[in-house]
């Protein structure tokens, strides 16, 4: 079974949104049984908390699951086949935390329309529209991630 971990700062906005979107897309592609998808945050700030209510509302409005409990990055990343980081800073932090360099990629690197080095911005301090923008970025990258999974089989 493949393991994919999505990563952001606190695991209450971007990474759980990516986890839920990716799980849904993998299920739609008939690949859900072949991949374990999880999410973590770089820091401990929100460990044990629910997803940000704005992230949950955005996901729910688009038909995605929302159950989530935030957790901090742990040894799972060393065993993951693919670690999807929201930002370049997360890539750096993940490598320092023991994630093998060849498994860590920017999430948006799977979106062929995204510019080189494109990041998923943190919507936490902004308005609700930021969560819609983040969801659109995640959804644009998801087909590429699903294709990557298919290539691993």
Per-residue pLDDT at 28: 98
Which member of 13, 14, 52, 71 is catalytic? Answer: 14
Domain boundaries, the chain: 2-144
Query: Tens digit of pLDDT for each residue in 116-142?
Result: 999 999 999 999 999 999 999 999 999
Looking at domain 2-144, its CATH superfamily turns out to be Response regulator (3.40.50.2300)
Based on the residue annotation, tell me whether 14 is a catalytic residue of this protein: yes
Query: Tens digit of pLDDT for each residue in 35-90?
Result: 999 999 999 999 999 999 999 999 999 999 999 999 999 877 999 999 999 999 99
CA distance 135 to 17: 7
**The token pair that represents 104 in the structure block:** 């860590």
CB-CB neighbours of 82 under 10 Å: 21
**Residue 26 in contact with residue 147, Cβ under 8 Å?**
no
The stretches of the chain forming alpha helices (DSSP H) are 14-28, 53-61, 76-79, 88-96, 129-152
pTM here? Answer: 0.97
- The average pLDDT across 145-151 equals 97
CA distances from 64 to 25, 44, 67, 99, 132 (A): 10, 25, 10, 28, 13
Which member of 50, 76, 81, 122 is catalytic? Answer: 122
Which member of 8, 23, 54, 111 is catalytic? Answer: 8
Lateral strand order in the sheet of 35-41: 35-41, 2-8, 82-85, 104-106
For strands 35-41 and 2-8, give the pairing.
parallel
Based on the residue annotation, tell me whether 122 is a catalytic residue of this protein: yes
């Amino acid at each position: 079974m493949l393991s994919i971990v999505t990563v952001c700062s606190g695991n209450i906005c971007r990474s759980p949104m990516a986890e839920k979107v990716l799980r849904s897309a993998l299920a739609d592609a008939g690949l859900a049984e072949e991949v374990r998808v999880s999410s973590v945050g770089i820091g401990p700030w929100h460990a044990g908390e629910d997803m940000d209510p704005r992230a949950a509302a955005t996901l729910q409005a688009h038909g995605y699951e929302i159950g989530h409990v935030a957790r901090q990055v742990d040894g799972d990343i060393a065993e993951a086949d693919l670690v999807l980081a929201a930002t370049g800073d997360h890539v750096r932090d993940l490598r320092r935390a023991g994630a093998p360099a060849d498994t860590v990629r920017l999430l948006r690197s799977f979106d062929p329309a995204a510019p080189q080095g494109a990041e998923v911005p943190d919507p936490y301090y902004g308005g609700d529209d930021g969560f819609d923008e983040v969801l659109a970025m995640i959804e644009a990258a998801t087909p590429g991630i699903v294709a990557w999974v298919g290539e691993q089989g």
